[in-house]
Amino acid sequence: MTLTVPVDTGLARYDIRIGAGLLRDPASWEGMPPSRHAVIVTNVTIAPLWAQTLAQMLTSLHRQVSVLELPDGEAHKDWPALNSIFDHLLQSGCDRQTVLYALGGGVVGDMTGFAAGCYMRGIPFVQVPTTLLAQVDSSVGGKTAINHRLGKNMIGLFNQPIRVVCDLDTLRTLPQRELVAGLAEVIKYGPIADPVFFDWIERELDALLARDVQALAHAVQRSCEIKAQVVGQDEREGGVRAILNFGHTFGHAIETALGYGQWLHGEAVGCGMLMATDLSMQLGLVGPQHLERMRDVLVRCGLPTRAPDLGVAAYLSLMGRDKKAQAGEIRFVVLDGWGRAAVRPAPDECVSEVIQRAVTR
């Protein structure tokens, strides 16, 4: 069965299709522009697993389907890899009607979306996410970017896909560590938007960890519904969309300090969510039972809960470069009660205590 979640930002409308076997299902691709060229942008790890299946299906829509394999990893979410997409498009004679298909995780999706937004001033692209993290988060909402040595996702643009196809079968080949990192972004949606969903995650966590397809389908569907609702209100992150960055202010500091790829993005976000829940508790916005529940669920997943000891000053300096910072003041996504989030500054002493507790827990 295919589940459909619509996204409507006012300027862009598209569907997220969720189900098993969707790569092979012609219905997933109905309505795609029947252009001459299609390019599947993927990486060296995913290509041997899934590119052929997608390419076979797309040959019924496009006369020329090519596959571009990027190097794998967060460290390659950079200018050289992005340029290699432009090289391929120009060398293959791709025109303005060419459709890009991003087959992969958030790294491939973010770079393909960026390339599609720039090539000939914009060509259509489809997200075909193959990690849990990409299915529940990065493929939806149109944020695209590459990293800079001085900060994550610092160079990019908003560019919505024309469709998102989440084939749950692709998750079968995902390493367990990656699945677990994706669960961190699923967990995120509970405390910021839907406490009932968090209750469900607590109950179904073993099924999710065992990749039960029904459990995964619900997790992807509910996550996408929440994300679509938020993005529909605030595509460009002028306000409410920032709540989707719960855990990311601390998490990005960890990723940037350790070097991209040491901790997976979802791992850093998981640890960051615990720190942000602790901060919310210090500010009197949630109770100790909420911190306990967050810690328990992360521990059951096997996600790291102890933050790397970078020193408080390094955390503060890295977080000062966060995109939410205003006039040098760091702003945090905190829980404004369990199931609601808000963005606000916090006293340095509180933040320092949170960091100190996180590196010693």
Residue-wise burial string across 255-278, b where 16 or more C-beta atoms lie within 10 A, e elsewhere: bbbeebeebbbbbbbbbbbbbbbb
Site string for ligand NAD, 260-289 (x = CB under 6 A): -----xx-----------------------
**Who contacts 112 (Cβ-Cβ below 8 Å, separation ≥6)?**
41, 85, 100, 101, 102, 125, 127, 144
Q: DSSP per residue over 95-117, as a string?
A: -TT-EEEEEESHHHHHHHHHHHH
- Residue 181 contact partner, candidates ligand GLY, ligand NAD, none, CB within 5 to 8 A by sort of partner: ligand NAD
Site string for ligand NAD, 77-106 (x = CB under 6 A): x--------------------------xxx
If the CB atoms of residues 98 and 131 are measured against ligand NAD, the closer one turns out to be 131
Active site residue 43: no
Compute and round to an integer the Cα radius of gyration of the chain: 20
303 to each of 94, 257, 272, how far by Cα in Å? 42, 19, 11
Q: CA 150, CA 114: separation in Å to the nearest integer? A: 19
Q: Which is the catalytic residue, given 76, 88, 143, 152? A: 143
Q: Which is the catalytic residue, given 237, 267, 290, 331? A: 237
178 binds ligand NAD (CB under 6 A): yes
Which DSSP letter does residue 286 get? S
Active site residue 30: no
304 binds ligand NAD (CB under 6 A): no
What would the two tokens of residue 258 be? 């350790």
Active site residue 248: yes
What would the two tokens of residue 139 be? 């493929």
If the CB atoms of residues 45 and 221 are measured against ligand NAD, the closer one turns out to be 45
Piece of 55-63, 127-135, 158-166, 300-308 that binds ligand NAD (CB under 6 A) = 127-135
Q: How far is the CB of 282 from ligand NAD (least distance, A)?
A: 26
The number of CA neighbours under 13 Å toward the Cβ of 142 is 25
**Residues between 40 and 59 with contacts to ligand NAD, criterion CB under 6 A:** 43, 45-46, 49
- Residue 241 contact partner, candidates ligand NAD, ligand GLY, none, CB within 5 to 8 A by sort of partner: ligand GLY
Closest CA to 152 of 189, 183, 106: 106
Query: Is residue 154 a contact partner of residue 147, using CB atoms and an 8 Å limit?
Result: yes
- Residue 331 contact partner, candidates ligand GLY, ligand NAD, none, CB within 5 to 8 A by sort of partner: none
- Residues at the interface with ligand GLY (CB under 6 A): 137, 141, 143, 241, 244-245
Active site residue 121: yes
H runs (alpha helix) in the chain: 52-58, 79-91, 106-118, 132-133, 176-193, 195-209, 213-233, 248-258, 265-282, 288-301, 312-319, 348-360
Beta bridge partners of 158: 143
Q: DSSP per residue over 207-221, as a string?
A: HHHTT-HHHHHHHHH
Among 69, 110, 267, 278, binds ligand NAD (CB under 6 A): 110
Active site residue 323: no
If the CB atoms of residues 94 and 301 are measured against ligand NAD, the closer one turns out to be 301
Residue nearest to ligand GLY (CB): 244
Active site residue 265: yes
* Residue appearing with tokens 């972004």: 185
Active site residue 237: yes
Catalytic residue positions? 121, 143, 185, 227, 237, 241, 245, 248, 252, 265
Binding site for ligand NAD (CB under 6 A): 43, 45-46, 49, 72, 74, 77, 104-108, 110, 130-131, 133-134, 137-138, 141, 143, 153, 170, 173-174, 178, 181, 265-266
